[in-house]
Amino acid sequence: MNVILLAPPAAGKGTQAEILTSIYNLDHISTGDLLRNAANDDSIFGKELKQIMESGNLVSDDIVLEVLNRHLDTIDSFNLLLDGFPRNIYQAEKLDEILGQKNSKIDYVFLLNVPKDILLFRITGRRLCKNCGKVYNVNIASVKPEREGVCDICGGELFVRHDDNESTFNTRYDEYLKQTSPLIDYYKQKGILYEIDSSVDRDDTFAQIKKILEKTEF
């Protein structure tokens, strides 16, 4: 099966992706992570990419699709958990084409709903492990690291993403409303959109997703 997590920034896509891939046989594909890797090299392209991402704007469709296709070439069977892709209608249509060529399709789109004020509260507390990528939040007791600045799992150093600040958050949120939210109707019309209240905590969010997957699992 192929699953999309659709959500505004800091709604919990990464956290749910972690849980879902640990339970179901899915390949987690985060275009944000793929792009951050691509932006890490010292080339002019890498620097430009970094600048766009740090501003909170979306990267061009051509670049995202290039990075995504390169990654998909390394995967044999399509059981994808897409996190951060598609971000607009054009990308969604391209994704349908890519999957169609593999006789595959999207089965579930989970829309994680969270009010804007909670998103902002979450984003300012988000910390990630430099080593294993585990996501923490210093503002939320249930997902706070045991030792400040240190990953509970691997002992790696925790860091704050450059785009996790209030001003970039506002740009990212506006981009979500303008470009990504039209996908809600796109997938509603296909009958595969499932709305999830992601405002409580990760276990509550996951319980709602699990209930839907277990009712109709492929």
Active site residues: 13, 87, 126, 161, 172
User: Tell me, what amino acid is at 198?
Assistant: S
CB of 176 to ligand AMP, least distance (A): 9
* CA pair distance 168, 188, nearest whole angstrom: 29
189 CB-near residues (< 8 Å, 6+ apart): none
CB of 52 to ligand AMP, least distance (A): 6
CB of 60 to ligand AMP, least distance (A): 7
Closer Cβ to ligand AMP, 61 or 215, answer by number = 61
Element (H, E) at 205: helix 202-216
Q: Are 92 and 2 in contact (CB under 8 A)?
A: no
Closer Cβ to ligand AMP, 12 or 32, answer by number = 32
CB of 35 to ligand AMP, least distance (A): 5
Closer Cβ to ligand AMP, 70 or 211, answer by number = 70
Closer Cβ to ligand AMP, 85 or 108, answer by number = 85
Please give the residue ranges that form the binding site for ligand AMP (CB under 6 A): 9, 31-32, 35, 52-53, 56-59, 64, 84-85, 87, 91, 163, 172
* CA pair distance 84, 9, nearest whole angstrom: 9
Q: Are 71 and 80 in contact (CB under 8 A)?
A: no
Looking at the DSSP bridge assignments, the partners of residue 5 are 83, 110
Closer Cβ to ligand AMP, 51 or 216, answer by number = 51
Number of residue whose CB is nearest ligand AMP: 32
Q: How far is CA 89 from CA 117, 143, 170, 180, 182, in A?
A: 26, 33, 21, 7, 7
- φ and ψ at residue 46, rounded to 5 degrees: -60, -40
CB of 216 to ligand AMP, least distance (A): 26
Neighbouring CB atoms inside 10 A of 1's CB total 18
Enter the tokens of residue 56.
């909170």
Q: Provide the sign of the torsion angle of the four alpha carbons 117, 30, 56, 40, taken in this order.
A: positive
